[in-house]
Chains A and B, each alone.
Chain A
């Protein structure tokens, strides 16, 4: 189809006034947690203009992204994307998304909101999150599957011990459902941030001692290998 090939060119040359085909779409979006033992905090799904991004590998996280990645608070990001006229679904799973569980939601996108981004914090981590960064929503109806990697916001040292979720507070937030799944008494894996920009998460280290050791994370259950999430997007006719 010729229109499809023309679209990127027209965007590139700024001929957006003629871009009647940067059109609204009806999306059904499923996010599945693929991990053995990691929980996702409230998920933010947003369709926005392709010149905006929630995060970028190699760049420092925004304060809104930091609040999401360290404490699972998507309120700041939601306000930011609302101000940019994005189309957003916040917290489709209505709380934590358990290991291997999936959540499905509908998203109606407005003209021009052709890039899809998804983020959610991973627990237990210090500032790990799942990320889909500005995936261009296809105009062709169909079902598209993507696998997401785990990112590190680069805003908090991965000490892997109990602490707080407020931006800047060290340690892991431990909400009640994870109370019995996270250890105690760890001495802390590290107090250093070795890369202060968003990067691929190095993974949890963990240990096998729930009462002591370096980490309060279990090394046999709460590690992961990428990918950590599967996203299925169905674009309606």
Chain B
């Protein structure tokens, strides 16, 4: 998955270093020291506000100006893998990602986790964070393409996030199709048998609310918002 980059900051940084290296000459003056590396470090706290939807290990990616998904467009395969099966490796390893981090494990309802991500010499990155609601077919929550350039050290921003539908797997709720503990069924499947457009999620129905074939119960129902996300720049 490519991320569209508007600012080639990484290239600017590389060419400066190259020039510095080429500047070596026979003068008595010492060669100028390359500027010290500057770390930009962010603490990302994800709080699970749902009743009964564990969140898959959170994927955090820093990249240039661009979006890793958009409502109304087809999900990338990396997002599909995350939203259907909770595996964030393709997402955090996507082309254009400058730095990434992953949560240590699932986040239980009512719990939170803080994940640190650090990038060197890149002051103007954009962040994408995503996690699957694991007792669903392909529901996820997150934020994408959020600019961090204005954030000062020790400053933070908080967002409350709705649940999105990757649109890559029909919301059948059927036994065998849901990877979370409610079912233990299949995660990622390359077939796309739904709208193939990212949308807001219509919610799960559950067997208790009239979907007889559903592996879910009222305990797995959710409403918006589902996740509270805080990002603090710590360095």
Of the candidates B199, B210, B213, B224, which one forms a contact with A205 in the assembled complex, judged by CB atoms under 8 Å apart?
B210
CB–CB A100/B163 < 8 A: no
**How many residues of B sit at the interface, in one of the four size bands?**
20 to 34
In the assembled complex, A187 has its CB within 8 A of some CB on chain B: no
Does A191 have its Cβ within 8 Å of any Cβ on chain B?
A: no
In the assembly, what is the distance between CA of A102 and CA of B199, in Å? 12
Complex interface: chain A residues within 8 A of B71 (CB) = 32, 34, 100, 230
The number of chain A residues touching the other chain, given as a range, is 20 to 34
Find residues 93-142 in chain B having any chain A CB closer than 8 Å to their own CB: none
Q: Does B178 contact A (CB under 8 A)?
A: no
**Residues in B whose Cβ lies below 8 Å from that of A102:** 72
Q: Which B residues lie within 8 Å of A101 (CB)?
A: 72
> Is A163 interfacial (CB-CB < 8 Å)?
no
Is chain A's binding surface mostly helix, strand, loop or mixed? Answer: loop
CA distance A99 to B210 in the complex (A): 24
| Beta-carbon contact of A223 and B200 below 8 Å | no
Contact B197 A100 (CB under 8 A): yes
Given A220-B173, A225-B163, A227-B162: A36 touches B201 (CB 8 Å cut-off)? yes
Interface residue SS majority, chain B: loop
Alpha-carbon separation in the docked complex, A219 to B202 (Å): 9
Chain A positions 136 through 172: 1 when the CB is less than 8 Å from some CB of chain B, otherwise 0: 0000000000000000000000000000000000000
Number of A-B contacts (CB under 8 A): 74
Instruction: Determine how close the nearest CB of chain A comes to the CB of B220; give it in whole angstroms.
Output: 14
Nearest chain B CB to A150 CB, angstrom units:
11
**Other CB < 8 Å A-B pairs besides A220-B171, A221-B202, 10 of them?**
A35-B199, A35-B200, A99-B197, A100-B198, A102-B72, A207-B210, A208-B205, A220-B170, A225-B163, A225-B202
The residue on B at minimum CB distance from A213 is B210
The one of A100, A208, A219, A220 that contacts B199, using a Cβ cutoff of 8 Å: A100
Chain B residue numbers with a CB within 8 Å of A207 are: 210
What is the CB-to-nearest-CB distance from B223 to chain A, in angstroms, rounded to a whole number?
6
Task: Report if B165 contacts A (CB, 8 A).
Answer: yes
Q: Which residues between 183 and 237 of chain A lie within 8 Å of chain B, taking CB atoms? A: 203, 205-208, 219-228, 230
- A219–B205 CB distance below 8 A: yes
Interface core residue of B162, B199, B201, B202 (most chain A CB under 10 Å): B202
